[in-house]
Structure 1
């Protein structure tokens, strides 16, 4: 791991000192339009999100649920361009002192140019990338470039991961390990909790200091349950749905409600 201090890890640690843990909130850039997505991200930070995860809309979002897919497709139809991600990050960071990660599939970064992407993200004040479809063993260029530009690299871990893979993820990740209970369709809540809890314990055994869990969490109670074993809880669909159905005011209200789960 890099020796530099991670903005994201610092924010998660601060949330654990002050409360039970961190709330990581996801929204796609450009939904329903660029200006509203920036306003929404700022509102999310001001309403209780400790870390922001801004999604880069992509034409083949294989790991996203229907609500997020529909939102990203709308952004693409409206003419979303990759450069707008850097504009959005810059505008959000000018307004709030909350770390901003970009969640992106790897192909857009590759097409844009890995070093060019990293340089512009760092210049905009971004904290790093969440990359759901690359693994550390195939990310040598990104690991080198992210270290050079001081960016976090958040890799995913799943219950199906081997111990060797978890070791590599724990060693290569900065910020936090994105801990998913299942790579398929979510099942019963108790089963998901057990899977995520077991995975978090395995990651800690491999030296992962910070793990945030994203498993279809959508209520304050589910956040509180995740924070029994993880350092942070990641919420996406519930926030995208709130923005879609009630605009920024409804989103802010939903973030405040769900953030209650982080309190002691």
Structure 2
């Protein structure tokens, strides 16, 4: 697999496989006896320059993998908090190329694994081959496309895997066992990654309590994916150290999104990067 001239990847040699950074991150956390912390940030919120500072601060605070949200005008899976951030980002002129630029700047200063998370239509419009090549060139390790079910993922999956990128599938509590197994088989066929377990049906947003069914749901996914032995990460609704500790007692990773967007909103005029760094440290307790 050739590196793209002038890219972040080029410096790491032609054999560099971006998705393996995700695998190594989970393995390192396992050896350290802890879960993987995966915060989400909307590219361009509150603005592009601040996003870079915030993401780097999160990495300094102890984030293991970072999701970079690509704003979209019709974000079906997003709750009010992330929808608001995406709306502001679009007003600020954030685009897919702008998200790539943010990733590149972060990757030039930090070794944290980066994922792009966003909806399929803008990716299709950008061009699948161009999107994956550009993502690889700018330090991205994997992709999360919430509205792309596993059974419709062939075109993007083929190109992403060829570029060494993970394609990470979301599995909600309503998913039948066959769909969970399909997501596991597709993930295992790729260069790295994990299964993203959606803690509840509905949209994103921080909650006070974890769903009562969550541990049973994770056990069901574990049973359906035991042959592949894939890491599981839980997202949607997590916001406290207690949530992180509970979830990582039975899954390998925990995703925090809306709670961080709220922190940025509260401190957007008063150094949000410092607030995010401290909040990540708080979650890592």
Normalising by structure 1, report the TM-score: 0.92
Which has a greater percent of helix? 1
Q: Which residue of 1 aligns with 2:273?
A: 248
Mean Cα displacement is larger for which, 23-32 or 63-72? 63-72
Deviation at 1:196, TM superposition (A): 2.6
Deviation at 1:198, TM superposition (A): 2.0
Q: Which residue of 2 aligns with 1:189?
A: 209
Deviation at 1:46, TM superposition (A): 0.7
For the residue of structure 1 that corresponds to 2:213, the secondary structure is: helix
Deviation at 1:66, TM superposition (A): 1.2
Deviation at 1:68, TM superposition (A): 1.1
- Structure-2 separation of matches of 1:188 and 1:42: 27
1:8 aligns with 2:22: yes
Q: Is the 8 A contact 1:179 1:196 kept in 2?
A: no
Aligned with residue 75 of structure 1, among 71, 76, 89: 89
Q: Is the 8 A contact 1:7 1:175 kept in 2?
A: no
Q: Which residue of 2 aligns with 1:258?
A: 283
Alignment size in residue pairs: 255
Q: Is the 8 A contact 1:118 1:146 kept in 2?
A: yes
For the residue of structure 1 that corresponds to 2:255, the secondary structure is: strand
- Structure-1 separation of matches of 2:102 and 2:222: 34
Deviation at 1:16, TM superposition (A): 2.1
Deviation at 1:24, TM superposition (A): 0.3
Q: Is the 8 A contact 2:118 2:145 kept in 1?
A: yes
Q: Show structure 1 runs of 5+ residues with no match.
A: none
- Structure-2 separation of matches of 1:32 and 1:79: 12
1:179 aligns with 2:179: no
Q: Which residue of 1 aligns with 2:238?
A: 217
- Structure-1 separation of matches of 2:45 and 2:220: 36
For the residue of structure 1 that corresponds to 2:44, the secondary structure is: coil
Q: Is the 8 A contact 2:70 2:95 kept in 1?
A: no
1:41 aligns with 2:55: yes
1:229 aligns with 2:250: yes
- Structure-1 separation of matches of 2:209 and 2:277: 25
Q: Within 5 Å, which residues of 2 pair with 1:29-68?
A: 29-68=43-82
Q: Structure 1 segments of 4 or more deviating over 3 A?
A: 185-188
- Structure-2 separation of matches of 1:28 and 1:85: 9
Deviations 1:223-263 (A, max 9, x none): 00001100001001111111121211111111110111xxx
Q: Is the 8 A contact 1:158 1:182 kept in 2?
A: yes
Deviations 1:191-215 (A, max 9, x none): x1x4332222222222251100013
For the residue of structure 2 that corresponds to 1:23, the secondary structure is: strand
Deviation at 1:70, TM superposition (A): 0.7
Q: Which residue of 1 aligns with 2:4?
A: none
Mean Cα displacement is larger for which, 66-75 or 15-24? 15-24
Normalising by structure 2, report the TM-score: 0.86
Aligned with residue 202 of structure 1, among 220, 224, 228: 220
